[in-house]
Amino acid sequence: MIISSAFAQEAPQEGEAATHAGTVEHGAHEGAFPPFEASNFAPQLVWLALIFGVLYILMSTIALPRVKKILVNRRATIDSDLEASRELQAKAQSAAQRNEATLQAKKEEAQGIGREAHEKIAAEVGAARASAEQKFAAALAEAEARIAGEKKQALTHVESIATEAAASIVEKLTGAGVDRATVASAYANVTR
């Protein structure tokens, strides 16, 4: 009963009931959306200008100088690193050129030492060869002289051997004794 009396007191008329029920049900307000209402434009613009001004002041005095300082430091660091790398590259190129010049000088020096050693060895070999040729020529001359002496001596013996052999052959063939002087004179007549 209490419920029915509460409904009875609040029961609106039919046209109003439908409108009232729709607004209560959806939580709708009467009128436009508050930010779009013309009466709220002036305070919104004031707050917009105030907040924008505060943000502008904060950004220009605090945030942007810090960012600028970071960018300037970064640029300085990059520039100093680039300059240092250019200097190191120039030093490296200079060292490479000095190294190349040193290598070329050492190569020429080594070639000079090699030429000197070759010339020295060639001179030593030439001297040793000349000495060996002189010794060989002396030994050859001595040998030729010895051979000539032995040949001469052998020829003198050959003559006596030939005369003896001829006398022995004639004796064996004829059986008569032959004078060795006669055979020697006959041999001398034939060999002339």
Per-residue pLDDT tens over the stretch 76-120: 999 999 999 999 999 999 999 999 999 999 999 999 999 999 999
pLDDT for the residue numbered 27: 53
Spans of the chain below 50 pLDDT: 1-11, 17-18, 20-25
Q: 74 lies in a domain?
A: yes
Q: How many domains does the chain have?
A: 1
Give me the residue label for tokens 């005369």.
163
Task: Give the residue numbers spanning the domain of 108.
Answer: 39-191
Q: How far apart are CA 54 and CA 31, in angstroms?
A: 33
* pLDDT reported for residue 7: 45
How many Å is the Cα radius of gyration of the chain? 70
Burial class (CB in 10 A: 0-12, 13-18, 19+), 163: buried
pLDDT at 163: 77
Per-residue model confidence (pLDDT) at position 34: 81
Q: Is residue 17 part of a domain?
A: no
pLDDT in the model for residue 84: 95
Q: Is residue 86 part of a domain?
A: yes
- Residue 108 belongs to a domain: yes
Q: Establish how many alpha carbons lie within 13 A of residue 62's alpha carbon, considering only the half-sphere containing its beta carbon.
A: 6
Q: What are phi and psi of 76, to 5 degrees?
A: -65, -40
In a domain? residue 33 = no
> What integer pLDDT is reported at residue 39 of this predicted model?
86
Asked, for residue 126, whether it belongs to a domain, the answer is yes
At 29 the pLDDT is 55
Look at residue 138 and tell me if it is in a domain. Answer: yes
The answer to whether residue 24 is domain-embedded is: no
